């Protein structure tokens, strides 16, 4: 049996220790899992010590706040892009790739919270931009809001493979994204650009029927190499050959879990590459409590993917 050491995205943050410490379900700390020995492999401030310092209680959790809608853009019948005014600390903390927030209509209760990835941030003006695809009960309740919405955050586990991403500098990267997954890909692309990377992009507008990457047209470091249907077998063959011919240090795959798995399983040249993927699991609470986002690793161990960085390709 392979031994995995999972990494909690919140470990050492302003929100650690959290609810899971109080219930003895901490992702990182073995003492706060009910064990009698220390086996956490965590190199930051001791989570167990922090928990004791707080009086055996969690730190103050993330709370709802009202965010002013500075700009609202509608693209077709199902894509709405909001630019929101937020506190400075929020704009700064949401600048990391994989950041997301929960949003909802302020007239409705917490059952309508919807996790939405951050598309871009402007730290100087304290603005964040999010894109919402309108197709379900939660997103429909946001579509007609024009003044302000409730948000809760920051959360950071919207993508898997952050360790690979942060190591990628002065090299070539490939971005593969479909539909609304183009939105979180934009924050990731800007992060790669800040680290002097050259980026090729393959996109599929999917059900969104919108090309988010138009913002990068004219950028000499971003090359839109193909607009296509990622379900097409000929496209899969094209991607396989392109990866085999070019030395990519990092490849991002953003789509539904079904399509991500299809690409990863059918593109031979992806083997042994540094892969970053979108967290496309069902996220409901963001705090590791409800279990909606739970998947099981190859050993059958349940993993709360709203908070846990998965560091192995076998999941």
Pull the structure tokens for residue 174.
């490939």
What is this structure's pTM?
0.93
**What is the reported pLDDT for 300?**
84
Residues of the chain below pLDDT 50: 1-3, 313-315
**What is the reported pLDDT for 195?**
96
**What is the reported pLDDT for 311?**
60
* Concatenated DSSP letters of 31-56: GGGT-SS------SS-HHHHHHHTTS
Judge whether 105 and 145 are in contact, CB under 8 Å.
yes
Distance CA 229, CA 42 (A): 42
Collect all residues with Cβ–Cβ distance below 8 Å to 209 and sequence separation of at least 6: 76, 78, 79
**What is the reported pLDDT for 1?**
37
- Residue 151 sits at φ, ψ, to 5 deg, of -130, 155
Distance CA 172, CA 178 (A): 20
Rg (CA), the chain: 20
Token pair 């496309």 is at which residue?
280
Angle between helices 233-245 and 257-266 (to 10 degrees): 60
**What is the reported pLDDT for 40?**
84
Structural domains in the chain, CATH included, are: 65-155 (2.40.30.10), 160-280 (3.40.50.80)
Of 82, 95, 91, 103, the C-alpha closest to 156 is 95
Distance CA 46, CA 37 (A): 13
Token pair 């739970």 is at which residue?
294
Distance CA 131, CA 258 (A): 22
**What is the reported pLDDT for 310?**
72
Alpha-carbon distances of 149 from 136, 155, 174, 284, rounded to whole Å: 17, 17, 34, 18
**What is the reported pLDDT for 272?**
83
Token pair 């593109």 is at which residue?
267
Distance CA 192, CA 190 (A): 5
Q: How many CB atoms lie within 10 A of CB 78?
A: 17
Q: How many CB atoms lie within 10 A of CB 39?
A: 11
pLDDT per position as a tens digit, 207-239: 899 999 999 998 999 999 999 999 999 999 999
Distance CA 41, CA 269 (A): 33
**What is the reported pLDDT for 201?**
97
Helix H or strand E encompassing 14: none
Q: Which residues pair with 202 in a beta bridge?
A: 176, 226
* Concatenated DSSP letters of 170-225: SSEEEEEEEGGGHHHHHHHHHHHHHTT-EEEEEEE-GGG---GGGGGTT-TTEEEE
Maximum Cα–Cα distance across the chain: 59
């Amino acid at each position: 049996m392979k031994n995995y050491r999972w990494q909690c995205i919140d470990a050492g943050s302003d929100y650690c220790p959290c609810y899971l410490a109080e219930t003895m379900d901490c992702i990182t700390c073995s003492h706060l899992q009910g064990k009698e020995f220390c086996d956490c492999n965590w190199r930051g401030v001791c989570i167990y010590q922090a928990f004791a310092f707080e009086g055996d209680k969690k730190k103050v959790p993330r709370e709802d706040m009202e965010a002013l809608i500075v700009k609202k853009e509608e693209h077709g019948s199902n894509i709405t892009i909001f630019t929101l005014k937020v506190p400075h600390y929020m704009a700064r903390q949401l600048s990391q790739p994989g950041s997301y927030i929960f949003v909802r209509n302020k007239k409705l209760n917490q059952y309508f919270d919807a996790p939405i990835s951050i598309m871009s941030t402007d730290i100087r003006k304290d603005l964040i931009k999010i894109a919402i695809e309108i197709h379900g009960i939660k997103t429909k309740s946001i579509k007609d809001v024009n003044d302000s919405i409730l948000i809760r955050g920051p959360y950071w586990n919207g993508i898997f493979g952050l360790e690979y991403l942060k190591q990628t500098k002065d090299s070539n990267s490939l971005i593969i994204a479909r539909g609304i997954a183009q939105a979180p890909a934009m924050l990731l692309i800007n992060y790669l650009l800040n680290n002097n990377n050259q980026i090729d992009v393959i996109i599929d507008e999917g059900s969104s029927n919108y090309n988010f990457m138009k913002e990068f047209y004219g950028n000499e470091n971003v090359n839109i190499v193909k607009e296509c249907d990622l379900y097409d077998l000929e496209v899969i063959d094209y991607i396989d050959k392109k990866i085999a011919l070019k030395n990519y240090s990092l490849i991002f795959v953003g789509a539904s879990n079904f399509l991500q798995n299809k690409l990863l399983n059918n593109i031979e040249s992806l083997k042994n590459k540094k892969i970053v993927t979108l967290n496309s699991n069902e996220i409901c609470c963001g705090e590791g409590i409800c279990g909606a986002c739970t998947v099981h690793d190859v050993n059958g161990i349940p993993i709360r993917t709203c908070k846990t960085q998965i560091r192995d390709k076998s999941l």
